[in-house]
């Protein structure tokens, strides 16, 4: 079953951000673009490299009107402890959501029941809170913030220009394609 157009569930989660705890709900994800970036666990090996990569790219996501939410099944207290203990994680300015009951991980079908952890799932949500792009990959392979940003920007473009599509490696400002019968077999 595809997760495309799946609407995020109503949820409440504790977050660690800017050295404070605060609550994040579904309402906080509506009205703008969001990325839910699931990772298996704090204090692990590949995860800090991904989260640091996202931290470096975070200003570009903000310029694109997209909020990043990293999510693991750890508590917000563990997020704070990791932030305090790791120089890579200390760079993070985006909200780190705690999902200890796996409500979000289960809703987006990225929960690994056997391990009690979220898989490496990345979900781009439109302003209505619906999934427009996602991937779930092996826990031993890290993701790339630059490619994720490109996918967010392409998703935003086609959201605004429904009659056009973005080709492979499309970047903002480059030409898009307007599908038509005369293009069939020509590209």
CB atoms within 10 A of CB 50: 21
- Catalytically annotated residues: 47
Coil, strand or helix at 63: helix
| Cβ atoms of 106 and 99 closer than 8 Å | no
Strand pairing report for 120-125 and 33-38: antiparallel
173: alpha, beta or left? (left if phi > 0; alpha if psi -120 to 50): left
């Amino acid at each position: 079953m595809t997760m495309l157009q799946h609407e995020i569930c109503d949820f409440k989660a504790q977050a660690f951000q800017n050295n404070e705890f605060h609550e994040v709900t579904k309402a906080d994800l509506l009205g703008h673009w969001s990325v839910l970036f699931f990772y298996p666990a704090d204090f692990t090996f590949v995860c800090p490299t991904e989260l640091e990569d996202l931290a470096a790219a975070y200003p570009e996501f903000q310029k694109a009107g997209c909020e990043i939410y990293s999510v693991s099944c750890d508590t917000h207290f563990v997020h704070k402890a990791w932030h305090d203990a790791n120089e890579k994680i200390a760079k993070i300015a985006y909200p780190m959501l705690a999902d200890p009951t796996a409500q979000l991980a289960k809703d987006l079908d990225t929960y690994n029941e056997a391990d009690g952890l979220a898989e490496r799932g990345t979900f781009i949500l439109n302003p209505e809170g619906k999934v427009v792009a996602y991937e779930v990959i092996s826990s031993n392979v890290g993701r790339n913030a630059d490619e994720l940003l490109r996918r967010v920007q392409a998703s935003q473009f086609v959201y605004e220009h429904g009659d056009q599509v973005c080709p492979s490696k499309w970047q903002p400002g480059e030409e898009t394609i307007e599908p038509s019968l005369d293009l069939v077999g020509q590209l």
